[in-house]
């Protein structure tokens, strides 16, 4: 209930209410952005862009109870825009940043998972990341991505099937 009250205050122009709201979800936004862009600097830039976009458009939010869902949708859109913009840039070594930025003890597993996820189309990647990295329900995913629930389900199952196929291929080479 407190979130809804803060959203309504922010929609009326209360900057402090907006800052309090945004700070509650800043870590979630960063985590989602990082999964898409795969480096700290771009993820931090995306957090700033999401803050700007959401502050500018908070008055368009119709249901205050869906504030986090709305923020995640903005995050995904900003991340996809950045990815599409960066497709024109050819990196020197695409895997180099993964070695530098990883704090994970099992680097090989992290790299394998990243490679598997990269085999998916953007819509499939979004559904997988929302479902398993952000722990969203299929209904929430359909709202965030603005697609029908049935489409969210079929995209999820198609993506999981692709991941299974790629895992089988990897196992056959090992």
User: What integer pLDDT is reported at residue 104 of this predicted model?
Assistant: 47
User: What integer pLDDT is reported at residue 26 of this predicted model?
Assistant: 94
Pull the structure tokens for residue 128.
Answer: 């997988």
Of the candidates 76, 70, 89, the one whose C-alpha atom is nearest the C-alpha of residue 37 is 76
- Cβ count within 10 A of residue 49: 19
Pull the structure tokens for residue 3.
Answer: 């979130």
DSSP secondary structure letters along 51-118: HHHHHHHGGG-S-GGGHHHHHHHHHHHHHHHHHHHHTTS--S-TTHHHHHH---S-HHHHHHHHHHHH
pTM, 2 dp: 0.64
DSSP 32: H
Pull the structure tokens for residue 46.
Answer: 């995306």
Of the candidates 110, 48, 103, 112, the one whose C-alpha atom is nearest the C-alpha of residue 75 is 48
Pull the structure tokens for residue 136.
Answer: 């969203």
d(CA 157, CA 128): 9
User: What integer pLDDT is reported at residue 45 of this predicted model?
Assistant: 94
Q: How many CA atoms lie within 13 A of 155 on its CB side?
A: 23
User: What integer pLDDT is reported at residue 92 of this predicted model?
Assistant: 45
User: What integer pLDDT is reported at residue 78 of this predicted model?
Assistant: 92
Which domains are delineated in the chain? 1-90 (1.10.1740.10), 92-174 (1.10.10.10)
| CA-to-CA dists, residue 74 to 27, 79, 107, angstroms | 15, 8, 30
User: What integer pLDDT is reported at residue 172 of this predicted model?
Assistant: 59
pLDDT in single tens digits along all 174 residues of the chain? 588 899 999 999 999 999 999 999 999 999 889 988 888 999 999 999 999 999 999 999 998 888 998 999 999 999 988 888 876 655 544 444 444 444 445 556 666 677 778 888 888 888 888 888 778 899 988 888 888 999 999 999 999 998 888 877 766 555
Nearest-5° angle of CA 117, CA 22, CA 11? 125
User: What integer pLDDT is reported at residue 100 of this predicted model?
Assistant: 45
Pull the structure tokens for residue 20.
Answer: 């309090």
Place of tokens 């979130």: 3
């Amino acid at each position: 209930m407190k979130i809804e009250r803060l959203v309504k205050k922010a929609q009326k122009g209360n900057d402090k209410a907006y800052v309090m709201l945004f700070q509650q979800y800043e870590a979630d936004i960063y985590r989602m952005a990082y999964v898409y862009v795969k480096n700290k600097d771009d993820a931090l830039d995306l957090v700033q862009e999401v803050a700007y976009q959401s502050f500018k458009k908070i008055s368009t939010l119709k249901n205050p109870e869906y504030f986090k869902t709305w923020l995640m949708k903005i995050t995904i859109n900003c991340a996809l825009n950045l990815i599409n913009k960066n497709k024109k840039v050819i990196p020197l070594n695409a895997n180099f940043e993964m070695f530098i930025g990883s704090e994970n003890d099992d680097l090989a597993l992290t790299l394998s998972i990243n490679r598997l996820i990269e085999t998916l189309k953007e819509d499939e990647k979004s559904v997988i990341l929302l479902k398993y990295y952000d722990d969203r329900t299929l209904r929430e995913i359909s709202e965030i991505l603005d697609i029908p629930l049935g489409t969210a389900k079929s995209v999820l199952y198609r993506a999981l099937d692709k991941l299974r196929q790629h895992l089988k291929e990897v196992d056959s080479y090992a």
